[in-house]
Amino acid sequence: MRAFNKYATNRQQGLAPGNMKPILRNILVYGIFIGAVAAYGLLEKSTYYLQLATFVGLNTLLAVGLNMLMGYAGQISLGHAAFYGLGAYVSGMLTVHLGWSPWITLPCALFAAGAVAYIVGLPTLRLTGYYLAMGTLGFGMIVNILFREFRKFTGGPSGLPGLPELTIGSINLSHGANALFLVWGCVIVAFFICERIVNSRMGRALRAIHYSERAAAAVGVNTASAKLAIFVFAAVLAALAGFLYAHMITFISPSTFNFLASVKLVAMVVIGGMASIWGSLLGASLLTLLPDFLHIFAEYEMIVYGLILMLVMIFFPEGLFRNLVKLYERAKNR
């Protein structure tokens, strides 16, 4: 626990030129970010690469939420894919079985995931360490089994087809560059909100909990409600990603939201860098693009994926983003 303190105290550093005012630096960073997304969306013509970039966005959304919970508050979750799935399935079932418009089911999906997170979080977040990891794992497995076994509503193991696409008037938001802009728009807003949270009283409270829950409680932080709040926040972000995924692909099945998916999300956070919002972007990009790149290894895909996970953790346990920042600073100081 103590070891994380170092991460917890240094805020977003690097990336932008050193001595600029924080506000200017932020405007510059977000400007570059928005510009890059816009340029990619407008210039890239291949639907395949557009969809791949959209997936990077979805995973970034998931990773940044989980990073708030794991990296800042220090609460591990091995069942985060359950909330991703809840967002997708709640919206999917309401649109397919009741014929509701996705824009009405969006708040339902977010609320459902938030409510489930609140109810599950109450007893679960009292646990610590391996017990918390096991509790969230158990929760994730049970949700996945429910997706598989309530065939009447969820379509069972073979999945739920025929979800409507997202449209505004005649504009289809589920395809190509439009989907890319929608998802990355959500990512940018989420980044902004997360950064505000991290630098607020709430963020300081979370980092205090990460360092020592007892010490945080002793200086007046309501640790239980702060942990619960960030857990609900991460769940709602995941549900938003689930909603976007469901109506982009228009088909959902339980295997997308299983234990391995939860583990991959944790891997994105840890490989990118704990307690680093931009690290989530790096981690999500790497782990989304890697399998795609690994297709050239065909049969050896799993071996290479496993090896990369192990090697990154053995040699860069603080995450790749922090190591890149360190390299940059070393180069600058030379």
Question: Least distance to other proteins from the beta carbon of 204, Å?
Answer: 21
**Rounded to the nearest whole angstrom, what is the least distance from the CB of residue 123 to other proteins in the complex?**
5
DSSP SS3 for 264: helix
For the residues of 185-201, what is the DSSP string, one character each?
A: HHHHHHHHHHHHHHTSH
Query: Whole-number minimum distance, CB 207 to other proteins, in Å?
Result: 16
76: tokens are 């591990």
Is the CA virtual torsion 131, 129, 66, 226 positive or negative? positive
302 binds other proteins (CB under 8 A): yes
Our finding on whether 141 is near other proteins (CB under 8 A) is yes
Indicate which single residue of 313, 326, 329, 332 sits in contact with other proteins (rule: CB under 8 A).
313
Q: How far is the CB of 125 from other proteins (least distance, A)?
A: 11
Cα gap 283→228, rounded to integer Å = 25
Query: What number of chain residues touch other proteins (CB under 8 A)?
Result: 49
Region near other proteins per CB under 8 A, out of 86-94, 192-200, 217-225, 295-303: 295-303
310 near other proteins, rule: CB under 8 A? yes
- Residue from 23, 43, 314, 331 that binds other proteins (CB under 8 A)? 314
Question: Which of 300, 326, 327, 328 is close enough to bind other proteins by CB under 8 A?
Answer: 300
Does residue number 134 form part of the binding site for other proteins (CB under 8 A)?
yes
Residue 156: both structure tokens together: 């069972």
What is the closest distance, in whole angstroms, from the C-beta atom of residue 57 to other proteins in the complex?
Answer: 23
Kind and range of the H or E run holding 167: strand 167-168
Full DSSP string of 316-333: -TT-HHHHHHHHHHHHHH
| CB closer to other proteins, 60 vs 77 | 77
In the three-class reduction of DSSP (H, G, I as helix; E, B as strand; rest coil), residue 251 is classed as strand
Out of 267, 275, 286, 320, the only residue in the binding site for other proteins (CB under 8 A) is 267
Secondary structure in 3-state letters for 209-230: HHHCHHHHHHCCCCHHHHHHHH
- What's the distance, Cα to Cα, between the start and end of the chain in Å? 33
The answer to whether residues 265 and 66 touch, using CB atoms and an 8 Å cutoff, is: yes
Both tokens of 126, joined, read 């009292």
Write each residue from 20 to 59 as x if it is in contact with other proteins (CB under 8 A), else as -, in one continuous string: ----------------------------------------
| CA distance readout (Å), 12 to 20, 65, 140, 277, 319 | 13, 16, 31, 8, 14
Contact 282, 239 (CB under 8 A): no
Touching other proteins, residues 67-126 (CB under 8 A): 70, 76, 123-124
| Whole-number Å distance between alpha carbons of 235 and 81 | 9
- Based on CB atoms, which residue is closest to other proteins, 15 or 134? 134
Interface map 4-23 toward other proteins (x if CB under 8 A):
x-------------------
State the residues that interact with other proteins by CB under 8 A. Answer: 1, 3-4, 70, 76, 123-124, 127-131, 133-135, 137-139, 141-142, 145-146, 148-149, 259-260, 263, 266-267, 270-271, 274, 299-310, 313-315, 317-318
